[in-house]
Structure formats: C-alpha cells, structure tokens
Amino acid sequence: KALGEWRNVPHDDGLSPSQMLLGRKQRGILPNVNDLEQKLPTEIKKSSEARQSVKRRKLEKANEKLKELKPLQVGQAVTIQNPTTRRWNEEGIITSVRKQGRSYIIETQNGWTTTRNRKFLKPLPTISQRSTRRTET
C-alpha cells in the first residue's frame, strides 16, 4: 500500500508517476484534494511542454557537436574500425552504398564482406596524395 501511495505523490514537475502513466490521479487511502483534480489537465500540459523543451535543448546541444562526414565513393579504399578493440587496423574497398547513404558495404582484404556505418570508416589516402605528403616532409 505504501508503494502505491508513494507513486501517487507528485514530483518536481508537478505530476506523480501514476498521473504521467495513466493521465489521471489514482484513488488512494490518503485524502484527495478536489482543486488538484481540476488543475490536472493543465498540469499535464505544462509538464509535457517542460519535457519537450528539455528534449529540444538536449537535441540542440547534441547537434552542436555533430561532425558532418564527407560521403565515400564506390571503389574507394578505407580503413575500418574494429568494433571490439576500437582500433583502425583493417582495410577494405567500398563495394556499394546502402539506401540511406549512411552505411556502406565493404570488401575487406581477406575477402570478407561487411557493412559499416560511415563513422566507423576512414578514407585511405590515394597514391598521389601519399607521394605529395612524402615530398612535403
């Protein structure tokens, strides 16, 4: 009984867990205040708006750190990040781009075919890029 009553107690946002779940106040052994029942729809709306604004702020904060990666081409050589060790120790060639454009099908050097998201792939420099780097140093 105590746990049920505790779930009826409003939290910081003005709603109890049972009100958020069911959209109404549950009947309990503690006395009920009629004014609270009349304010309930507006409290739910305020609480929902507060949650939406927090969600929006979190999304904006996450998008600030978002790094846009250049798309890769079919036939391009790439380094693949190992999902367990997180090291960039495998190389392969992109054989196709998936429908959404965020993931690629890669054929590795040992002949395996794997699918990886763009963030786990780094383009390898071409031979001309390697030779220009050597002459610069």
Q: Please, which residues bridge with residue 79 across strands? A: 91, 122
pLDDT digits (tens, 9 = 90+) for 16-69: 888 888 887 777 776 656 555 566 677 777 888 899 999 999 999 988 888 888
What CATH architecture is 76-123?
Answer: Roll (2.30)
Does pLDDT of 102 surpass 80? yes
- What does the domain layout of the chain look like in residue ranges? 1-65, 76-123
pLDDT digits (tens, 9 = 90+) for 68-90: 888 899 999 999 999 899 999 99
Q: Residue 116: which pLDDT band, with cuts at 50, 70 and 90?
A: very high
Q: What is the pTM of this model?
A: 0.50
Name which of 29, 30, 31, 11 is nearest 21 in CA terms.
Answer: 11
CA distances from 92 to 5, 24, 28, 69, 105 (A): 60, 57, 64, 18, 10
β 77-80/90-97 pair status: antiparallel
Q: Residue holding tokens 């993931």?
A: 103
For 29, the token pair is 């052994």
For 44, the token pair is 């739910």
